[in-house]
């Protein structure tokens, strides 16, 4: 990397070093430290080091939330990233280089996310940045990453703007976006429940863009938005909004509320006995947001891009590896947020190996060509990276509460249907995204 990093560095929280063996154990230190002994065991670690100790490690900056609205999801995606890193290091690393990580809490705050990105690149000299749930935070990180040319993986934030107007050459988006999920559930809801809709969405970029996408799909299919309400983040009393919903008497209430807020919203809907009065849809439910609430809180229809009970090759083995790596963790089975973190990290390592280098431009070109078989993705259809928007196009599922008798208490979802990537692709993002040229992207290599 060319040293153009002058000027005062931003103030950020202390970096926390991840031990690839156990992402629940962290130590605050001045620099990055590989702590793999607990996971690999002495003999495996010696074997790995025999192959890799003479080479400089690849340092990855984890830009995941540990606190704030999406702290729970940030923890989950970080664990997914770390499992992929553990598996890579057990095989000798990437290009014969071990993977080390440094984590700084982005606090579910865009300003903190930008400061963390500056720190990761300018001081910690991370080769890559991974992690993002809050779309405003992800956008802020990616703007800084583009300035320096550092590849950034938005693993879990779902605003259509992330692969639309806020896209960047260095940023790759690995979850479905709000439009994709809306396309998967809205058409069926209009047919099944009726044309009059209320929108109840978070008052920030993800909520705004998701509401816009839902409105377009509803109106294109003969429906009508009779009320649209924006909810501030960290709302804990939804009763005024719910009273207005009751007055409007819509056929369907579409929500795009996430994090801790969705838990409170669903509890209050149940308390007011509104869960049966209208059809409720949430364009996407993240597993950490609903885990532990109980099946009774899972009313309505919602979208997801993966579920741990899909009857597909590799799923049982993936769940078993998750449980081995996360013994004692409160979430006993992997969800979509963990899955996205893991899959994104794995594809980064594969792209680096194909490129034969950590040079950003060469790795970007490999990432733009990513195609993953359905079997390898543990989904129903092949997935592919759209080279014009840098969003992973993949299978999306419609789900609802599992009311069937099952011996597994964590089997909360019932999958209602699935759609191919081409059926839900966001054409508006394609027209809005203007990726920087390769020539305009600074060369970055660590």
Beta-bridged to residue 419, according to DSSP, are: 396
Predicted pLDDT of residue 23: 38
CATH class of 178-309+395-428: alpha beta
In eight-state DSSP terms, residue 97 is B
Greater model confidence, 109 or 44: 109
Tell me the per-residue pLDDT of 296-333, one tens digit each, with 9 for 90 and over. Answer: 678 788 889 999 999 999 999 999 999 999 999 999 99
Cβ atoms 169, 389 nearer than 8 A: no
Query: Per-domain residue ranges for the chain?
Result: 16-176+315-393, 178-309+395-428
* Alpha-carbon distance values, 63 to 80, 90, 116, 351 (Å): 13, 23, 7, 20
Confidence check: pLDDT of 295 > 90: no
Place of tokens 């990432």: 367
Q: How many helices and strands (H and E) does the chain possess? A: 15, 17
Domains 16-176+315-393 and 178-309+395-428 share a fold: yes
Beta-bridged to residue 417, according to DSSP, are: 398
What's the rounded mean pLDDT across residues 171-198?
A: 87
Question: What percent of the chain is predicted at pLDDT more than 90?
Answer: 64
Q: Largest Cα–Cα distance in the chain?
A: 70
Least confident of 59-73, 122-136, 394-408: 394-408
Tell me the per-residue pLDDT of 131-154, one tens digit each, with 9 for 90 and over. Answer: 999 999 999 999 999 999 999 999
CATH superfamily of the 16-176+315-393 domain: Response regulator (3.40.50.2300)
Other CB atoms within 10 Å distance of the CB of residue 400: 17
Average pLDDT, rounded, for the chain:
87
Question: Sorting pLDDT into bands at 50, 70 and 90, what band is 35?
Answer: very low
What's the rounded mean pLDDT across residues 9-14?
A: 59
Q: What is the pTM of this model?
A: 0.85
Least confident of 87-96, 176-185, 228-237: 176-185
Q: Which residues are within 8 A (CB) of 11 and not within 5 positions of it... i.e. 6 or more apart?
A: 115
Tell me the per-residue pLDDT of 246-260, one tens digit each, with 9 for 90 and over. Answer: 999 999 999 988 888
Q: Which residues are within 8 A (CB) of 31 and not within 5 positions of it... i.e. 6 or more apart?
A: 17, 102, 124
């Amino acid at each position: 990397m060319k040293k153009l990093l002058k000027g005062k560095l931003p103030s950020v929280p202390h970096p926390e070093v991840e031990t690839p063996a156990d992402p629940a154990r962290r130590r605050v230190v001045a620099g990055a430290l590989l702590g793999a002994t607990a996971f690999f065991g002495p003999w495996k670690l010696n074997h790995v080091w025999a192959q890799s100790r003479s080479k400089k490690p690849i340092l990855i900056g984890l830009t995941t939330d540990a606190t704030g609205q999406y702290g729970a999801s940030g923890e989950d995606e970080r664990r997914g990233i770390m499992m992929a890193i553990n598996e890579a290091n057990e095989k000798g690393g990437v290009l014969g280089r071990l993977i080390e990580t440094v984590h700084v809490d982005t606090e579910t705050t865009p300003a903190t996310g930008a400061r963390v990105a500056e720190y990761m690149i300018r001081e910690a000299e991370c080769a890559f940045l991974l992690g993002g749930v809050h779309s405003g935070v992800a956008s802020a990180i990616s703007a800084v990453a583009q300035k320096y040319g550092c590849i950034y993986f938005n693993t879990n934030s779902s605003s259509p703007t992330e692969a639309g107007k806020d896209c960047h050459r260095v940023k790759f988006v690995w979850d479905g976006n709000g439009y994709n999920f809306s396309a998967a559930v809205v058409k069926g809801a209009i047919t099944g429940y009726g044309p009059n809709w209320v929108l109840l969405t978070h008052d920030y970029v993800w909520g705004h863009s998701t509401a816009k996408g839902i409105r377009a799909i509803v109106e294109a299919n003969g429906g009508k938005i009779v009320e649209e309400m924006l909810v501030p983040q960290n709302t804990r009393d939804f009763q005024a909004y719910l009273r207005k919903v009751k007055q409007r008497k819509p056929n369907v209430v579409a929500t795009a509320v996430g994090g801790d807020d969705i838990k409170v919203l669903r509890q209050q809907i149940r308390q007011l006995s509104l869960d049966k009065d209208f059809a409720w849809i949430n364009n996407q439910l993240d597993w950490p947001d609903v885990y532990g609430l109980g099946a009774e809180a899972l009313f309505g229809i919602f979208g997801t891009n993966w579920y741990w009970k899909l009857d597909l090759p590799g799923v049982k083995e993936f769940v078993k590896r998750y449980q081995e790596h996360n013994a004692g963790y409160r979430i006993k089975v992997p969800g979509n947020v963990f899955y996205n973190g893991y899959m994104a990290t794995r594809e980064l390592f594969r792209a680096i190996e194909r490129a034969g280098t950590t040079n950003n431009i060469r790795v970007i070109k490999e990432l733009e060509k990513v195609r993953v078989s359905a079997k390898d993705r543990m989904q129903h259809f092949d997935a592919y990276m759209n080279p014009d928007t840098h969003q992973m196009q993949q299978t999306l599922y419609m789900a609802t509460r599992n009311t069937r008798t099952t011996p597994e208490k964590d089997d909360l979802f019932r999958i209602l249907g699935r759609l191919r990537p081409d059926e839900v692709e966001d054409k508006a993002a394609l027209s809005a995204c203007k990726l920087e040229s390769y020539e305009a992207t600074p060369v970055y290599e660590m």
